[in-house]
Amino acid sequence: MSAPRVLVCGSVFGQPAGGVRRHNAELLPRAAALLEARGGALAVLEGRTPIAFPLPPSIERIPSDVPASPVLVRAAFESRALRRASGFDLVHTGHLPAPRGLRVPFTLTLHDLRHVEARRIFAASALAGALRRARGVFTVSECVRAELLERFRLDPARVRVVSNAADHFEPLPRAAQAGARLLCLGHLEPRKNQELVLRALALDPELPGVDFAGASKGRERERLGALAGELGLATRARFLGPFEERELPALYAHAALAVFPARIEGFSIGVLEALRAGCGVALSRIPAHLEVAGALVRSFAPDDARACAEAIRAALRDPPPDAAVPRRYSWEASARSLVEGWEAFLARS
């Protein structure tokens, strides 16, 4: 039996750089090559906003008028566009709401359970419905899989892990000098909890300043900037905004320490990148962070600014952690898991 022809929903692939974009940019070309070698194929339904990362010629781009937002409009347009596409055995999506009325089965990747954690009733309902209808579900970590199984009582055979990785990242030699600053990398949004780092710096005036690198969602940049002013951190907190991919190695190379204070994560590619770069790390004590980095790095409760300050100070004092952790993960292995999962889910009745 040949491998399937898979159509991936790509209407949100024009989003700024981040973990979800990295996940797709690394996995889709590799999965396409694996499918093609087995007699299958992969295509992407492209929305109104062009895909923001390169795809090889072997991946067919199917144009559509699907907007990236608002969410309900996107869902309606996307389901219609997917129903019109023909010649595919499976549809795969990594965002909600999941498509409806398809002629073929679909699978779903869940990067985290942020909407459930935030008690967004509509989003939780949409997720529950998608889980019922999906032929199979992928998560990016064991902790998300475990939580999904517990919350929704799913058949374990219907949920597989396809981890993220960091072997896309080629680090530069460490070049942190006197006066080097902390690096807090990621989208500016409430769940990323950058506010905690500001409050930690306000508690400990001797800690280095911090650079926040990443695009702002909503008005979070303005909120955090105002808080920095209130806390007297106007010169110690800098907001670098979005960055180009080519800048990433230098950001880690010159940072005194990378800090990841998130309240909710499904994985954390940034943690792996920092470890691969030999950069010291301090991170919030949440399941995804502990799964990736374990006891190798300093951690703190995501609601404790004083503990955050103490973890930063201890991580600055200690040598960087061993870079063995990132080698446990690879995009190639994850792509194989994804393709094998598609084949196994299709074989289920």
**pLDDT tens string for the chain (349 positions)?**
679 999 999 999 998 888 889 999 999 999 999 999 999 999 999 999 999 999 999 999 999 999 999 999 999 999 999 999 999 999 999 999 999 999 999 999 999 987 766 556 677 788 999 999 999 999 999 999 999 999 999 999 999 999 999 999 899 999 999 999 999 999 999 999 999 999 999 999 999 999 999 999 999 999 999 999 999 999 999 999 999 889 999 999 999 999 999 999 999 899 999 999 999 999 999 999 999 987 778 999 999 999 999 999 999 998 776 666 777 899 999 999 999 999 999 998 6
Q: What pLDDT, on a 0 to 100 scale, did the predictor assign at position 19?
A: 87
| Peptide bond connecting 70 to the previous residue in cis, omega within 30 degrees of 0 | yes
Helix ranges restricted to H, the chain: 19-37, 71-84, 114-117, 121-133, 142-152, 194-203, 220-230, 248-254, 269-276, 287-293, 305-317, 331-347
How many domains would you assign to the chain? Answer: 2
- Report the CATH number that the domain containing residue 160 is assigned in CATH: 3.40.50.2000
* Whether residues 270 and 285 fall in one domain: yes
* Whether residues 127 and 223 fall in one domain: no
Residue pair 162/154 in contact (Cβ under 8 Å)? The answer is no
* Whether residues 246 and 121 fall in one domain: no
pTM more than 0.85: yes
Q: What pLDDT, on a 0 to 100 scale, did the predictor assign at position 114?
A: 79
User: Containing domain of residue 288, as a range?
Assistant: 182-328
Residue 171 lies in a domain: no
Q: Lay out the sheet containing 60-63: strands in order across.
A: 60-63, 41-46, 5-10, 90-93, 106-110, 136-139, 159-161
Residue 177 lies in a domain: no
Q: What pLDDT, on a 0 to 100 scale, did the predictor assign at position 123?
A: 72
Tokens 């144009």 belong to: 63
Residue 172 lies in a domain: no
* Whether residues 71 and 217 fall in one domain: no
* Whether residues 26 and 141 fall in one domain: yes
